[in-house]
Amino acid sequence: MSSSDIVLGPNQYGKAEVRVVRVNRETPVHTLVDLNVSSMLRGDFTECYTSGDNTRVIATDTQKNTVYAFAKEHGITTPEQFLLLLGQHFTGQAEVSGGRWSAESYPWERIRVPGPDGTLTEHEHSFVKSKQEIRTAALTIADGVEHLVGGFSDLTVLKTTGSEFSGYPKDRYTTLPETDDRVMATDITARWLFAAGAEGQAAAGAVDFDAVYARVKQIVLEQFALVHSLSLQQTLYAAGEAVLGAIEEIEDIRFVMPNNHHYVVDLSPFGLENPNEVFQAGDRPYGLMNASVTRRGAPARPQAWEWIAGFC
């Protein structure tokens, strides 16, 4: 086979995990935003791959520098806004036709210290990291269209009752007993796609990304708590439906939810009953749910979700 029968397929390149902390010191009450930013560029970079010609290759080091310079020049209000700035900057370069910009955002809380009267009040410049979940955002620009996705990773929840699992098919390899009362636990990862146009609204200040974030998190927690669950899938869907019902800027929400199994320990060899009181928290294997909840008739936007050469 001649090598001319072999060609470059989809590709992107960039700088990953640029750790930027932006402090706002304009008043004595400081604020901070703590991000881990990645920038991946797409365009016609064929010559670089086939002959090592870097004429069109914006150095990944330059991408990193841009992140830091923009943090100073423009500040960082929300991860989503910052990614929109970066994406619009890079796609304004002749070499770049599109790309993907993403960020993890680490929430911090103010440390509370005793005030003059002994009551706890928030300190002006001291913070403790809240690790309950990691906030995420990703912007894909493809064919001139922006696809903006918010989200969070690994919000870990557990309920000690209010969960069942039964009625599933039985085959030769089925041994699981049915149950009408089990522990249900998961690490909720969610990603939500903003409706087309939300980016424009964002630019106009009409979308408050922080407020959307807080509402989605609260709604998901509530649904987990309140739904009497016949399957983890049902809980997932209820959470998605409630989010879409409440927040019109969101068009599609996708979840990855492992089923963090808690096994009822068999204490009968020791002459003890165990009415769902003592559990072994399992590591592997685990169930895994993966689903989208979306608006009927929403346009297909596969580019919002795909990785060019993506695989885990």
Question: Considering only residues 126-185, where is the footprint of its own copies by CB under 8 A?
Answer: 126-132, 138, 149, 151, 155-162, 165-169, 171-176, 183
Residue 211 lies near its own copies (rule: CB under 8 A): no
Residue 283 lies near its own copies (rule: CB under 8 A): yes
CB of 91 to its own copies, least distance (A): 14
Residue 276 lies near its own copies (rule: CB under 8 A): yes
Residue 272 lies near its own copies (rule: CB under 8 A): yes
Whether 74 is catalytic is no
Whether 121 is catalytic is no
Strands (E), 26-91: 31-42
Classify the C-alpha dihedral 268-271-276-282 as positive or negative: negative
Exposure of 22 in the CB half-sphere (CA atoms within 13 A)? 20
From 64, 147, 217, 261, the catalytic residue: 261
CB of 148 to its own copies, least distance (A): 13
From 60, 77, 160, 294, the catalytic residue: 60
Residue 292 lies near its own copies (rule: CB under 8 A): yes
Residue 215 lies near its own copies (rule: CB under 8 A): no
Count other C-beta atoms under 10 Å from residue 67's C-beta: 22
Residue 226 lies near its own copies (rule: CB under 8 A): yes
Is the CB of 117 or the CB of 172 nearer to its own copies? 172
Is the CB of 169 or the CB of 205 nearer to its own copies? 169
At CB < 8 A and 24+ separation, what contacts does 56-63 make? Answer: 56/95, 57/13, 57/95, 58/90, 58/93, 58/95, 58/96, 60/13, 60/14, 60/15, 61/15, 63/14, 63/15, 63/18, 63/39, 63/90
Is the CB of 174 or the CB of 204 nearer to its own copies? 174
Q: Residues in the chain, how many?
A: 312
Tell me whether strands 108-114 and 98-105 are parallel, antiparallel or unpaired.
Answer: unpaired
Whether 147 is catalytic is no
Is the CB of 144 or the CB of 283 nearer to its own copies? 283
Is the CB of 143 or the CB of 284 nearer to its own copies? 284
Give the SS3 label for residue 240: helix
Residues paired with residue 45 on neighbouring β-strands, in sequence order = none
Instruction: List CB contacts of 312: < 8 A, sequence separation 6 or more.
Output: none
Residue among 263, 252, 250, 264 at smallest CA distance from 294: 252
CB of 59 to its own copies, least distance (A): 5
- Here's the x/- map for its own copies, 12-51, by CB under 8 A: it reads as xxxxxxxxxxxxxx----x-x-x-x-x-x----x--xxxx
Answer for the pair 99, 14: CB distance below 8 angstroms, yes or no.
yes
CB of 290 to its own copies, least distance (A): 5
Residue 202 lies near its own copies (rule: CB under 8 A): no
Question: Considering only residues 71-90, where is the footprint of its own copies by CB under 8 A?
Answer: 71-73
Active-site positions read 15, 60, 261
